[in-house]
Structure 1
Amino acid sequence: MPGAEDDVPLEQAAVALGGGHGLFASLSALRQVVRDLTAVVTVADNGGSSGRLRGEFGVLPPGDLRMALAALCGDDEWGQTWAKVLQHRFAGQGEMRGHSLGNLLIVALWELLGEHVDGLDWVGRLLDARGRVLPMALTPMDIIAEVRGAEGSDELTTVRGQVQVATTPGDLVSVRLDPPDPAACPEALDAVRYADWVLLGPGSWYTSVIPHLLVPDLRKALVETEGEVIVVLNLEGQPGETTGFAPEDHLAALFDHAPELRIHTVLADRASVADAHPLEEAVASAGAKLVVADIAMEDGSPRHDPRKLATAYARIMG
């Protein structure tokens, strides 16, 4: 465990909520830090292979769930081989083009078992995953956003679908789910309630992180959990979602959707905090502790480094 005094993972339970590449980095770090790890994954994707499978079979979009499972694969030959198999995308020019093998495997198990959680658990057993992956809800949903300036004017435009929300230009004013009260995954609720640590972010703020706060029962569990909540801020604003956002703006957006959320720690990258004072004020007003650390990749890309994240997580939790 990088940055810890020894290599024994902490005997604590952690739950990480999010989706996509941000959650992948966080899980890749957390599996080095804690023994009991659960990923709770947003299920609103409507693009690519996931969108096609969702449309054809009426299932949850499997893509972000697949990525979370791949992140939990071990560093040995077995784990890394299966991670590559899970992430493999078919080429060619036919109907299989662009499909991920992992997506197909997950949907096949869902069809055979008739149950989302059981299917994901079976994939995790095959991979010898270092943790459990759960959907945040049990029914597919769409993200709907109100965007100002999407058509070059100050009028509000309604945008439907995760891909469309993430790519429509303009200022994102608000987001909601359709249906507005999807059934939360019971196992995810239990994981959040009984966790020692609950992590929100990093990831696409309005389409991967905030959706967890829009599922009524999951939001209630996040507000009421006795676990310590860590918010991991993005390295920069994301074009189409959080263009021009400062670190404190990301925090404010969370409280806009769950003002009663209790936060223990806010983790930010040192290079991304140009002026620390506004963020320090925002964190202090939330009654939380600010940790600023070097957690970015060294190649200059706006991505979190899993090894550096593991060091930061170990110091916060240890």
Structure 2
Amino acid sequence: MTNKRPKVVAIGGGTGLSVLLRGLKYHDIDITAIVTVADDGGSSGRLRNELQIPPPGDIRNVLVALSETEPIFEKLLQHRFINGNGLSGHSIGNLLLAAMTDITGDFAQGIRELSAVLNVKGRVLPAANHSIVLNAVMMDGTLVEGESNIPKRQDKIDRVFLTPENIEPLPESVQAIQEADLIILGPGSLYTSVLPNLLVPRLGEEIAKASARKVYVCNVMTQKGETDNFTASDHLKVLLDHIKPSTIDVIIVNKRSVPQHVLDRYALEGAIPVIYDKQKLEDYGIDVISDDIIKLDHNVIRHNEQIVANLLMGLLK
């Protein structure tokens, strides 16, 4: 009798999820990535509006992260045109996903076909098979529509919600969550990358009642217009305010200090390190894992994908 590979579901979007998956793909696990389709800015937003397809940008980044292709092909997928009437700003990967969607007539099927071409390890699933709109209610009651507009408001967010209301997740996503041994949320923009997935009807509910351990990988730096001055427990509170309170079992936080020259650079963007407020986290009754989980990439702070992946694999044992 052979041992089955552990099933891991990673949920999010943006750069954070991609970094996480780059570390996980080297472990002997069955990976399913569920990726947000709420983006409405840049190349993704243009393709979404012009072709009436879900935004491909976050999906592209995750496909590249999980692919096992030559480095030059990865560079090709991420290549972004800087000139050309109509082409400027678009990446090759976004255009390929748009083309595959046109050929197959279905966004999710287009992702499956491109996954096969790229020799992707695991499955990449959109949170929904059509575009969704992320809306935010600010603390003063103002309604802001559109993912890209929310941080621009630079005001404190009360809650976010999706439209249309009749969004259906893919059956494969629901099944993956139900069968998972570990469910990972984040890292990534709290309101605009992580929460949009959890707000898809049934997805959030299935995550809450799943038997798998659920772990939140907390962001390392705050984000201007989204999580200004947030501590780790503030991040956790927002997640739990939007979904069932007992959903998160474990949080992974950074305890390494950030060099001053890097702090100075981030200060120009209005970002500071997320404070590890240990006692407040423990008051939630969840397991807290703190470690040196960051690395510097050309003075940009990223999660160290190998360290985080090893911590997550430890939760499977």
Structure 1-normalised TM-score?
A: 0.88
SS at match of 1:11: coil
C-alpha distance in structure 2 between counterparts of 1:29 and 1:267, whole Å: 15
1:237 to partner: Cα distance: 2.0
Residue of structure 1 in register with 2:312 after alignment: 313
1:11 to partner: Cα distance: 1.9
How does 1:75-154 map onto structure 2 within 5 Å? 78-148=69-139
In the alignment, does 2:25 pair up with 1:40? Answer: no
C-alpha distance in structure 1 between counterparts of 2:248 and 2:83, whole Å: 47
C-alpha distance in structure 2 between counterparts of 1:225 and 1:178, whole Å: 25
Residue of structure 1 in register with 2:64 after alignment: 70
1:10 to partner: Cα distance: 8.6
Range with bigger deviation, 265-274 or 208-217: 265-274
Residue of structure 2 in register with 1:4 after alignment: none
C-alpha distance in structure 2 between counterparts of 1:16 and 1:178, whole Å: 23
Change (3 A) 1:63 1:204: same
After the TM superposition, which segments of 4 or more aligned residues of structure 1 sit over 3 Å from their partners? Answer: 272-275, 298-302
What's the C-alpha RMSD, in Å, of the aligned pairs?
1.8
Q: 1:278 aligns with which of 257, 280, 291?
A: 280
Over residues 116-157 of structure 1, what are the superposed CA-to-partner deviations in whole Å (9 max), with x where a residue is unaligned?
A: 222111111111111111000112111111224xxxxxx432
Q: Which residues of structure 1 form unaligned runs of 5+?
A: 1-8, 149-154
Q: Which residues of structure 2 form unaligned runs of 5+?
A: 257-273
SS at match of 1:210: helix
8 A Cα contact 2:53 2:131, kept in partner:
yes
Change (3 A) 1:281 1:34: farther
8 A Cα contact 2:231 2:277, kept in partner:
no
C-alpha distance in structure 2 between counterparts of 1:240 and 1:84, whole Å: 31
How does 1:197-216 map onto structure 2 within 5 Å? 197-216=182-201
C-alpha distance in structure 2 between counterparts of 1:33 and 1:10, whole Å: 13
Structure 2-normalised TM-score?
A: 0.89
Q: 1:22 aligns with which of 3, 16, 25?
A: 16
SS at match of 1:278: helix
SS at match of 2:253: strand
Identity of aligned residues (%): 36
In the alignment, does 2:202 pair up with 1:217? Answer: yes
1:278 to partner: Cα distance: 1.6
Residue of structure 2 in register with 1:245 after alignment: 230
8 A Cα contact 2:191 2:226, kept in partner:
yes
8 A Cα contact 2:10 2:33, kept in partner:
yes
Q: 2:293 aligns with which of 292, 295, 306?
A: 295
1:294 to partner: Cα distance: 1.2
8 A Cα contact 1:222 1:261, kept in partner:
no
C-alpha distance in structure 1 between counterparts of 2:217 and 2:310, whole Å: 14
Range with bigger deviation, 187-196 or 27-36: 27-36
